[in-house]
Structures are given as structure tokens and as C-alpha cells.
């Protein structure tokens, strides 16, 4: 059976027109929602910065360097933003936006580190972890000890020294999510050490 070349051209033209219309619609939706999504992300980041450094008065941005990226990567994480933490105009440490793999995708978090390179807090900016399992880590649910799973990092130091099952506890059933957060914290400590 031979297919008429006019039919092929007609079908190809129709499909091309449909693709162009769909692309234009997606572009329009993106144009309408992009600023709103950016605003929500900025608000989440600001709230997370205040959560990990509640006494801070300023968070000036710090330019990322190759050394910072390499330090985070060595711990299995990625640093996407860095801020100096200032309290009353004085240097009080750093806060880093870190990305690490969880069980369902990337976990984006802010990790605060004081001037002595000890963790001041961990706050989740965004994640796609499973509701009722990995989300327990993201919501800082309490461990059997009564301490929140994210709060257990406060005061810890030593890049690469934190490990689930050794120095850090996991929420039962959410070990991969717990390991993802631990990689992010190790990455932040490593970046802080690279900054000196």
C-alpha cells in the first residue's frame, strides 16, 4: 500500500501547527507565572535564612567560587547560593543553599554555619520527598530521642564527619531522605571550611 505524499505533507503540517500552538501556550503560561514562582522561592529562602540564623541582622550574598563548588561536590552536594551571616554588623558565619539527592528528587536546603564552623540550623526550602515518609525528615519530625531530625545537626562540625547511623540518626523508613540532608550539611561544612 502506497501512502500519498500529499497526505504525509498534510499530516506533518497539522502536527507542526499543533506543536507551535502548544509551545506558544506554554511560553505564555511561563511568562505569567515565572515572577510569581521566583517570588515564592525568594520568600522561602528568606524564611529559611532567618530560621538557621535567627539573631542575624543581615545576609549579604557571597559570590560562589570554583573552590566552594568543589568542596560541596566532594561531599555529594551542590552549593547554589552563599550568604555571609552578620549580627549587628559583625561576621557571625555563613548560610548556604545546598542541593542534595533525596529519594524522590533533589532536596534544597539552607544550612547555617557559625564563625567556628558549627551548624546553627538546617531549613528545607523545597523537596519532592514522599508524603508520610521522607516528608517526616523535611518537617523536622522528632527522633526517638525527642530531638527533631533536622535539629540534631545543630552544633555539629567537621565536614564529612556526619554519617547516618554513626553520628546522625535517620527517621525510620526515610533513610535516603536523611542521607540526602546529611550530604547537604556535610557539603555546607566543607564550603565553610574552604572559605576559612
* Domain around 182: 52-195
3-class secondary structure, 92: strand
pLDDT computed for residue 55 by the predictor: 87
pLDDT computed for residue 44 by the predictor: 83
Q: What is the mean pLDDT of residues 92-121?
A: 93
Query: Does 91 fall in a domain?
Result: yes
Under 8 Å between Cβ of 97 and 109: yes
Q: What is the pLDDT of the chain when averaged over all its residues? A: 89
pLDDT computed for residue 43 by the predictor: 85
Query: Does 3 fall in a domain?
Result: no
User: Could you give the number of structural domains in the chain?
Assistant: 1
Residue 40: pLDDT band with limits 50, 70, 90: confident
Q: Give the CA radius of gyration of the chain.
A: 22
Query: Does 146 fall in a domain?
Result: yes
pLDDT tens figures, 132-177 = 777 888 888 888 889 989 999 999 999 889 999 899 988 888 888 8
pLDDT tens figures, 43-59 = 888 888 998 998 888 89
Closest to 162 (Cα-Cα) out of 86, 92, 100: 100
Query: Does 139 fall in a domain?
Result: yes
Query: Does 25 fall in a domain?
Result: no
- How far is residue 196's CA from residue 116's CA, in Å, rounded to a whole number? 10
The three state secondary structure string of 94-135 is EEEEEEEECCCCEEEEEEEEECCCEEEEEEEEECCCCCCCHH
pLDDT computed for residue 128 by the predictor: 82
Across 25-29, 34-38, 132-136, which has the greatest mean pLDDT? Answer: 25-29
Burial of 194 (0-12, 13-18, 19+ CB in 10 A): middle
Query: Does 90 fall in a domain?
Result: yes
Residue 14: pLDDT band with limits 50, 70, 90: very high
Query: Does 39 fall in a domain?
Result: no
Percent of the chain with pLDDT over 70: 99
pLDDT computed for residue 67 by the predictor: 94
Query: Does 58 fall in a domain?
Result: yes
- How far is residue 123's CA from residue 59's CA, in Å, rounded to a whole number? 15
Q: Is 74's pLDDT higher than 90?
A: yes
Amino acid at each position: 500500500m502506497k501512502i500519498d505524499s500529499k497526505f504525509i505533507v498534510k499530516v506533518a503540517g497539522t502536527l507542526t501547527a499543533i506543536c507551535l500552538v502548544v509551545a506558544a501556550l506554554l511560553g505564555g503560561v511561563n511568562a505569567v507565572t515565572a515572577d510569581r514562582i521566583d517570588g515564592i522561592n525568594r520568600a522561602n529562602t528568606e524564611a529559611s535564612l532567618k530560621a538557621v540564623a535567627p539573631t542575624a541582622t543581615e545576609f549579604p550574598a557571597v559570590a560562589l567560587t570554583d573552590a566552594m563548588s568543589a568542596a560541596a561536590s566532594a561531599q555529594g552536594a551542590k552549593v547554589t547560593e552563599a550568604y555571609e551571616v552578620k549580627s549587628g554588623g559583625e561576621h557571625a558565619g555563613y548560610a548556604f543553599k545546598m542541593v542534595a539527592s533525596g529519594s524522590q528528587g533533589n532536596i534544597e536546603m539552607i544550612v547555617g554555619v557559625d564563625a567556628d564552623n558549627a551548624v546553627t540550623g538546617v531549613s528545607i526550602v523545597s523537596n519532592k520527598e514522599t508524603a508520610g515518609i521522607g516528608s517526616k525528615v523535611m518537617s523536622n519530625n522528632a527522633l526517638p530521642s525527642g530531638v527533631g531530625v533536622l535539629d540534631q545537626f545543630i552544633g555539629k562540625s567537621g565536614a564529612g564527619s556526619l554519617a547516618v547511623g554513626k553520628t546522625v540518626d535517620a527517621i525510620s523508613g526515610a533513610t535516603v531522605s536523611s542521607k540526602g540532608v546529611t550530604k547537604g550539611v556535610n557539603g555546607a561544612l566543607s564550603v565553610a571550611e574552604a572559605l576559612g
